[in-house]
Amino acid sequence: MFAPGQWPGYYSRAEGVHVWDLDGNKYTDMSINAAGACVLGFADRDVDSAVHAAIDNGTNCSLNCPEEVELGDLMCEIHPWADMVRYARGGGESMAIAVRIARAYAKKDRLAFCGYHGWSDWYLAANLARGDNLDGHLLPGLDPAGVPRVLAGTAFPFRYNHTEELEAIVKENKNELAAIVMEPIRDYYPTPGFLERVREIADEIDAILVFDEVTSAMRMNAGGVHLRLGISPDIAVFAKAIGNGYAMGAIIGKEHVMQAAQSTFISSTNWTERIGPVAALATIRKHRRVAAAEHLVALGKRVQDGWREAAVSAGLQIHVSGIPPLSHFSFEHEKGQAMMTLFTQMMLGKGFLASGKFYAMYAHQFSDVESYLAATTDVFQAIADAAKKGEVEKRLMGPVAHSGFHRLA
């Protein structure tokens, strides 16, 4: 995905912000921090020691672990609008559970959604109707091979901040929509009134509002970012960062909605193992204790500013987006993807895992950011020089990276 044939691919050890590849090369990770999972840092000592203790006491048996009750209480304390919780381990499966509960509650089939929500049939069904429906939703071009064709016409995408697109879906499918599914925030801040109007529409048409917080949670605060935005959903879904790299997913919701889970079948053996809840409790508690969000936001702001400064000094046009802890940039140039590949290639040479995304970890120090930005400034100069001479591709030691998940999908 980043610099084919050059990106190391496999690791032997990861700790803090550092990763060692199989040849013993050490890198500072200024990229996607385990696809956003390790928000505190790799092999975080506090989370790991809680997990070690859980391992010593048995992580799975015929009874339930009390940590799942403790975690449920904590999630409902942090999100006071929520009363009940279900657990899974991955983000995509947690979203599938949320959608199942919403459909069971509403007794309707169709969905309006915005953004990326994982690999499940309910989501990829959007691409059965028209191959480009998911374009503009983070991972464009996802192929729905293997998704039953009968699901065509069950999931309809709208773009963030485009209330008129949601309204058009509602008009077409008024009494059929079980849920509106979206991330509360991702690349752009909500325009005034957008989330309020989505909430209003959901209520008007008796649809469940599901906030996918799989990636957005634990960045701007120790919980769902919707708390910061002032809009409560009916269901919110968490995974990734709540376990700091240990598999954990949680679906929280209002009692009358969550009770619908009893009328359907949602269960899996390892959803009651102990490591996930123990890791989540340790992660959330540490996140709160050390005020991790403040540090993540400050790091992200400095990186965004540094990208802009480096681009100006090199005479490059870039586009910067994202909430600070989940920052993105792209080169605004016809060779943008090749330039990004060259960026990764050259940053690898300077000891950084780097791409167009910087996902902040609590373990990042400002000194890491400054070293990274100094390297970025040099590399941007070299990229500008390559672009001027029409040599961007020539300077690559491998193919141009593909964009999105095409190869994986």
Ligand X SMILES: Cc1ncc(COP(=O)(O)O)c(C=O)c1O
Residues at the interface with ligand X (CB under 6 A): 35, 90-92, 95, 116-118, 183, 212, 214-215, 239-240
Quote the least distance from Cβ 394 to ligand X, whole Å. Answer: 34
Q: How far is CA 51 from the centre of its chain?
A: 23
Indicate the residue among 183 and 368 with the shorter CB distance to ligand X: 183
Quick one: which of 373, 376, 312, 369 has its CA closest to 344? Answer: 376
Contacts of 46 (CB under 8 A, 6+ apart): 40, 282, 286
Which residue's Cβ has the minimum distance to ligand X? 91
Quote the least distance from Cβ 365 to ligand X, whole Å. Answer: 26
Contacts of 48 (CB under 8 A, 6+ apart): none
- Helical H segments across 260-335, by residue range: 275-289, 292-314
Quote the least distance from Cβ 249 to ligand X, whole Å. Answer: 7
Quick one: which of 249, 269, 274 has its CA closest to 89? Answer: 249
Quote the least distance from Cβ 123 to ligand X, whole Å. Answer: 9
Indicate the residue among 95 and 147 with the shorter CB distance to ligand X: 95
Indicate the residue among 16 and 91 with the shorter CB distance to ligand X: 91
* 274 contacts 58 by C-beta, under 8 angstroms: yes
Rg (CA), the chain: 22
Indicate the residue among 231 and 290 with the shorter CB distance to ligand X: 231
Measured distance CA(2)–CA(327) in Å, rounded = 16
CA distances in angstroms from 302 to 131, 185, 190, 298, 331, listed in the order given: 39, 20, 22, 6, 19
Category of 62 on φ-ψ map: left (φ > 0), alpha (ψ -120 to 50) or beta:
alpha
Measured distance CA(352)–CA(374) in Å, rounded = 12
- 112 - beta bridge partners? 156, 180
Quote the least distance from Cβ 341 to ligand X, whole Å. Answer: 21
Indicate the residue among 277 and 306 with the shorter CB distance to ligand X: 277
Quote the least distance from Cβ 283 to ligand X, whole Å. Answer: 15
Quote the least distance from Cβ 363 to ligand X, whole Å. Answer: 21
In this structure, is the dihedral angle defined by the CA atoms of residues 299, 359, 237 and 71, taken in order, positive or negative? negative
Indicate the residue among 16 and 243 with the shorter CB distance to ligand X: 243
Quote the least distance from Cβ 92 to ligand X, whole Å. Answer: 3
Quick one: which of 81, 25, 96, 53 has its CA closest to 239? Answer: 96
Indicate the residue among 227 and 375 with the shorter CB distance to ligand X: 227
Indicate the residue among 95 and 124 with the shorter CB distance to ligand X: 95
- Beta-strand pair 235-238/208-212: parallel
Quote the least distance from Cβ 105 to ligand X, whole Å. Answer: 20
Quote the least distance from Cβ 142 to ligand X, whole Å. Answer: 12
**How many CA atoms within 13 Å lie on the side-chain side of 161?**
9
Indicate the residue among 247 and 298 with the shorter CB distance to ligand X: 247
DSSP codes joined into one string, 245-258:
TS--EEEEE-HHHH
Indicate the residue among 240 and 364 with the shorter CB distance to ligand X: 240
